A and B are shown apart, each in its own frame.
Chain A
Amino acid sequence: MGEPGPGLRTGGDVRTVLSVEDLRIRFGGLIVLDGVSFQVRSGEILGIIGPNGAGKTTLFNILSGIYRPTGGRVLLEGEPVGGRTMHAIARRGVGRTFQNVRLFGNMSVLENVMVGRHGRTRAGFVHALFRVGGVRREERSILEASRKELEFVGLDELAFLPAAGLPFGKQRLLEIARTLASEPTVLLLDEPAAGLNPRETEGLSRTIREIRERGITVLLVEHDMELVMSISDRVMVLQNGRTLCEGTPRQVQDDPEVVAAYLGEGF
């Protein structure tokens, strides 16, 4: 329980947080993931790149429980979670953002983050109706934790604005804050830099590093190569539902197959 404190990890910690084994999924006759395996260590930033249609978002959709895999296993801290419901997986510690930001546009900035606390709080339907069973106390804790996350991404001044009214870059940050409020151990960021200007992307890069400093493991799907290569500890290249190559940013950039398939000139 409790706050994820910054800087608690030491270099010696190489615990495997997430382990994906031979993951497969098909939609009708279309095979989208065809046996993907990888492991992610605690506190690592793993960049996932690949051409459009490689299966990156599908991979995230399986990891967060939106899709059920056709085959293979997902182990979160050693326990299989593949095929569980979304909310169960979220409560186990997988958080995510979406390529096309999915905020609750009908709610305020602060309320969006407060929803992030849902899986970490308990007052049930009947408790809420009658305001019994520590509802008020819990509400205060929700508010406090949400405020912290808003401060973390620098949106605390905009707390009471409708979420839908934020500029796009801030919407992306809000979505991250909302997910952080759910205390993920693994955070899946789906193209967080898409639609951001260079200055915003730089801020995002800082934010992602700070998230890692809190001990959260980050999986990053991104097309902005500069961002991926600069902050990832390791990079995995997906192509046609398979792992093409995996290694440090340096290794990946030097891999002739990758260069041929994806990166092209200039890398």
Chain B
Amino acid sequence: MDPLGTRSRPLRERLPLPLFAALAAVLPLLLSNEYYITVLIFMGINVLLVVGLNLLMGYTGQISLGHAAFFACGAYGSGILNVRLGWSPWVCMPVSLLFTGVLAYLIGKPILKLKGNYLAMATLGFGLIVEHMAVEWGDLTGGPSGLSGVERLTVGDWRFYTPGIRYAYLVWAGVFLCIVLAQNLVGSRIGRALRAIHGSEVAAGTLGVDTARLKLQVFVLSAVLASLGGALYVHYLGFIAPASCGFVYSIHLVTMVVVGGMATIWGSVVGACILTLLPQVLTFLEDYDILVYGVILILMMLFMPEGVVRGVLAAFRHAGAKVSGLGGAGPRAADGG
């Protein structure tokens, strides 16, 4: 046996992607109701943000409590260009992504020197500044009531937004691409260096990893993914308000990363989907929905602190081992990504 991986990747690693693609292709067809489709679209948008945030937080170990601000940059950026200047959404979107990337670079350069809680505070501050700008700079942003009348995506006469299923495919195609790219990154020398930074920044540095540069690059990437989510959001709804991209949303994103599992891409997909869906499912509880939502979160963290995906896989492995009477399923060193 050759234990050192000159063999091709195991099925366990190659299977999820085609499975996911099939699911993403079929699921929208099964949802008759436009409302469900909308939920599906929001799920996809959240996946984009959460995958990006997990690259930064779960893999590289750099906390951001202000990620909603980058979502806001994408949504407001693209929306404002469209409403105030009358540019086509197809131009507004890339411009807002570029803008967000440059902004993230300028912000990240100084604040990524901070570590742990201090970085969390700095990103939190940035998030609050952007939130306040959205509220106060009324001439540009529409103020507290939000920016409305944003043009929705069309190609000629063909509308991307109605029926919503078209938009769902657009968003989830983006999600698919995002997952592929993230997997590529994570499985590369860059991905290993990111995790090394998480493990010990000094040790990584003494092995030739340019830690400052890599942290900045992953910060910019996650910011651009967040702004892509924002741009997709605003050109679907035609509307954006400060309430949907403030501090609460930032915390929500971090929660999705943690529930899905730190440093796992599929975990982020699942985490974002579960926590987007859960509040919708719980609405039948009316006033008690927040309460139950909180309790579910607490239970998940108590019983699956390593995240839903790893938790469930471990449970299956455990059950399988009991049934077959064999020991554990071997080392779990390769379960990242």
CB neighbours of A118 from chain B (8 A): 189, 192-193, 196, 204, 207-209
Q: Does B206 contact A95, Cβ atoms closer than 8 Å?
A: yes
How far is B203's CA from A123's CA once the two chains are assembled, in angstroms? 20
Q: Does B333 contact A108, Cβ atoms closer than 8 Å?
A: yes
**B34 beta carbon closer than 8 Å to chain A:** no
Q: Closest B-chain residue to A146, C-beta based?
A: B4
Which of B210-218, B291-299, B312-320 is the interface stretch?
Answer: B210-218
Q: Does A115 contact B209, Cβ atoms closer than 8 Å?
A: yes
Q: Does B199 contact A86, Cβ atoms closer than 8 Å?
A: no
Q: Which one, B181, B210, B333, contacts A87 given CB within 8 A?
A: B210
**B33 beta carbon closer than 8 Å to chain A:** no
CB 8 Å contact bits of B218-231 with A (1 = contact, 0 = none):
10010000000000
**A203 beta carbon closer than 8 Å to chain B:** no
**A3 beta carbon closer than 8 Å to chain B:** no
CB neighbours of A89 from chain B (8 A): 206
Give the secondary structure class of B's interface.
helix
**A36 beta carbon closer than 8 Å to chain B:** no
Name the residue among A90, A102, A104 with the largest chain B CB count within 10 angstroms.
Answer: A104
Q: Closest B-chain residue to A135, C-beta based?
A: B188
Q: Does B199 contact A103, Cβ atoms closer than 8 Å?
A: yes
How far is B2's CA from A156's CA once the two chains are assembled, in angstroms? 10
Q: Does B333 contact A114, Cβ atoms closer than 8 Å?
A: no
CB neighbours of A127 from chain B (8 A): 188
Q: Which one, A90, A105, A161, contacts B199 given CB within 8 A?
A: A105
Q: Does A121 contact B189, Cβ atoms closer than 8 Å?
A: yes
**A234 beta carbon closer than 8 Å to chain B:** no
Q: Does B207 contact A115, Cβ atoms closer than 8 Å?
A: yes
Q: Does A130 contact B205, Cβ atoms closer than 8 Å?
A: no
Which of A41-49, A137-145, A216-224, A258-266 is the interface stretch?
Answer: A137-145
Q: Does B198 contact A106, Cβ atoms closer than 8 Å?
A: yes
How far is B190's CA from A102's CA once the two chains are assembled, in angstroms? 19
Q: Does B181 contact A130, Cβ atoms closer than 8 Å?
A: yes
Q: Does B189 contact A142, Cβ atoms closer than 8 Å?
A: yes
Name the residue among A129, A139, A143, A179 with the largest chain B CB count within 10 angstroms.
Answer: A129
CB neighbours of B221 from chain A (8 A): 125, 129
Given contacts A90-B206, A98-B203, 9 further A-B pairs with CB under 8 A are A87-B206, A87-B208, A106-B263, A117-B189, A123-B188, A129-B221, A147-B4, A162-B331, A182-B207
* Interchain Cβ contacts under 8 Å between A and B, 8 examples: A96-B206, A98-B203, A104-B196, A104-B199, A108-B331, A115-B196, A162-B331, A162-B333
Please provide the 10 A-B residue pairs with the shortest distance between their CB atoms, ordered closest to farther. A119-B208, A104-B199, A86-B205, A128-B188, A108-B333, A90-B208, A102-B203, A128-B190, A102-B200, A115-B196
* Interface residues of B, Cβ cutoff 8 Å to A: 3-6, 181, 184-185, 188-193, 195-196, 198-200, 202-211, 214, 217-218, 221, 263, 331-334
